[in-house]
């Protein structure tokens, strides 16, 4: 089973950018679709972006489409989330997860092997 470690979070002003990374330690990383989710205080974990196993297909939550880009490097066992034009409402803990369900799933229950998360805080 994959083990995941997120990094790259921090404090940024509105309009700024951050790039999150998620490094996987397993041998089967390239076999799985991956996703990014986020959880703000007092809310449930919500889908942000997903990517197919090959990286050829990507899909996004409506709230981030056009601002965020998910990508992966299977040679480095890493998935990325480039976040541009950040808004205060993007403030959350961001998690990456392995998609054990269908390639285009947005459902949290289809994902697992969660990392510990990385905090993103966007100031107004």
Comparing CA positions, the residue from 56, 84, 93 lying closest to residue 72 is 56
Distance CA 79, CA 34 (A): 8
% of the chain at pLDDT higher than 90: 94
Distance CA 77, CA 119 (A): 21
Q: Are 28 and 41 in contact (CB under 8 A)?
A: no
- Residues 23-49 have pLDDT tens digits of 999 888 999 999 999 999 999 999 999
Q: Are 86 and 70 in contact (CB under 8 A)?
A: no
Residue 109 has phi, psi (to 5 degrees) of: -70, -15
Distance of CA 80 to the CA centre of its chain: 7
Distance CA 84, CA 81 (A): 10
Q: Are 72 and 2 in contact (CB under 8 A)?
A: no
Long-range pairs for 67-70 at CB < 8 Å and ≥24 separation?
A: 70/34, 70/35, 70/36
- Residues 68-91 have pLDDT tens digits of 999 999 999 999 999 999 999 999
Banded model confidence at residue 64, pLDDT cuts 50, 70, 90: very high
């Amino acid at each position: 089973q994959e083990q995941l470690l997120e990094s790259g979070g921090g404090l940024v002003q509105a309009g700024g950018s951050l790039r999150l990374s998620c490094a996987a330690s397993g041998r089967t990383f390239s076999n799985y679709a991956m996703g990014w989710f986020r959880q703000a205080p007092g809310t449930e974990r919500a889908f942000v972006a997903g990517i197919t196993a090959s990286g050829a297909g990507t899909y996004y939550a409506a709230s981030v489409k056009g601002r965020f880009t998910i990508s992966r490097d299977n040679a480095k066992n890493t998935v990325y989330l480039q976040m541009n034009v950040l808004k205060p409402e993007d403030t959350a803990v961001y998690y990456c997860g392995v998609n054990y369900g269908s390639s285009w799933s947005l459902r949290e229950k289809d994902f697992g092997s969660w990392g510990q998360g990385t905090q993103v805080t966007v100031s107004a």
